[in-house]
Amino acid sequence: MRAQPEQQAPPVQRIRLRYAKRGRLRFTSHRDFSRAFERAVVRAGIPMAYSSGFHPHPRISYAGAAPTGSASEAEYVEIGLARPVAPEEVRAAIDAALPTGLDVLAAAESPGGSLADLLEVSRWQLTLTEVGAGAVQAAVGAFLAAESVTVERMTKKGMRSFDCRAAVIALTVEHAVDPAVGPVLDVLLRHGTPAVRPDDVLRGLTEVGGLPEGISALQRRLAQGRYDEATGAIHDPLGAVDGPTAS
């Protein structure tokens, strides 16, 4: 009879971390980051709790990862520990073990429940290139006036069509401080299934607003969390509150 695997003790503490993907590290895929993160917790000497079974894994839960190529100031991960450690000690140790550009910004002890359930919306900043502010403003007006905007995207299950307009809570055009940079879109997206991404919104602006095909943008997530419908604030799962978004 095959020997039964050793049963691991459940975590005694869970820590939630907010981290950033900056500079060239925005091209890190979720799989690449998870490998780097698991190596970092080992190098940092974090007392991780492990799953049971024949191949135990560290207790790490990822939530709401940004698409590859997108910069972000608001990525989240939760880890389970075998013994209590001060959250700031965990943050500093893992941050020092990760490469510059994958930066751990904040940490807090988890009160329980699902981290993913706290990520209802994302606020994005899209810096456009090769297009004028006037054309972008007109496209945004047409997009917001539309009841629905259907776009297509290749998924793991093949080409899929969906309405990207329904996920957009707010969409405004900001003028960049640097005249060499194109107009900047501030986008507030509601999470759902299928998840609407910033490039889906750009595709929608092309569909209804006449922006050039294949328009590119530097995508940067500024915040994600619970959304306060009354104030427009985004509540960070670690406790901070992002200011009201433009509407």
**Same domain (yes/no): 167, 140:** yes
Q: What percent of the chain is predicted at pLDDT more than 90? A: 73
pLDDT tens string 218-231: 999 999 999 999 99
**Beta-sheet strands, E only, within the chain:** 13-21, 60-63, 71-81, 102-109, 121-128, 150-155, 158-163, 168-174, 184-190, 217-227, 234-235, 241-242
**Same domain (yes/no): 152, 218:** yes
Residue 17 lies in a domain: yes
**Same domain (yes/no): 57, 136:** no
**Same domain (yes/no): 90, 157:** no
Q: Where does the pLDDT of residue 5 fall: very low under 50, low under 70, confident under 90, or very high at 90 and above?
A: low
Residue 226 lies in a domain: yes
Domain boundary among 71, 86, 117: 117
Q: What is the CATH number of the domain that holds 124?
A: 3.30.70
Residue 214 lies in a domain: yes
What the block records as the tokens of 71 is 């910069």
Residue 7 lies in a domain: no
Residue 241 lies in a domain: no
Domain boundary among 64, 87, 117: 117
Indicate the number of domains in the chain. 2
**Same domain (yes/no): 134, 171:** yes
Q: What is the CATH number of the domain that holds 43?
A: 3.30.70.580
**Same domain (yes/no): 133, 222:** yes
- Is the distance from CB of 222 to CB of 73 less than 8 angstroms? yes
Domain containing residue 56: 13-117
Residue 1 lies in a domain: no
Residue 245 lies in a domain: no
**What are the beta bridge partners of residue 128?**
217
- Where do we find the tokens 């895929």? 29
CA-nearest of 65, 44, 207 to 140 is 207
- Is residue 177 predicted with pLDDT exceeding 70? no
- Is residue 247 predicted with pLDDT exceeding 50? no
Domain boundary among 74, 98, 117: 117
Q: Where does the pLDDT of residue 169 fall: very low under 50, low under 70, confident under 90, or very high at 90 and above?
A: very high
**Same domain (yes/no): 95, 145:** no
**Same domain (yes/no): 112, 148:** no
**Same domain (yes/no): 109, 147:** no
pLDDT tens string 56-106: 889 999 998 999 999 999 999 999 999 999 999 999 999 999 999 999 999
Residue 2 lies in a domain: no
pLDDT at 82: 95
Distances (CA, A) of 244 to 167, 229, 230: 18, 10, 10
**Same domain (yes/no): 124, 231:** yes
pLDDT tens string 112-163: 999 999 999 999 999 998 788 889 999 999 999 999 999 988 777 778 888 9
pLDDT at 53: 75
- Is residue 7 predicted with pLDDT exceeding 80? no
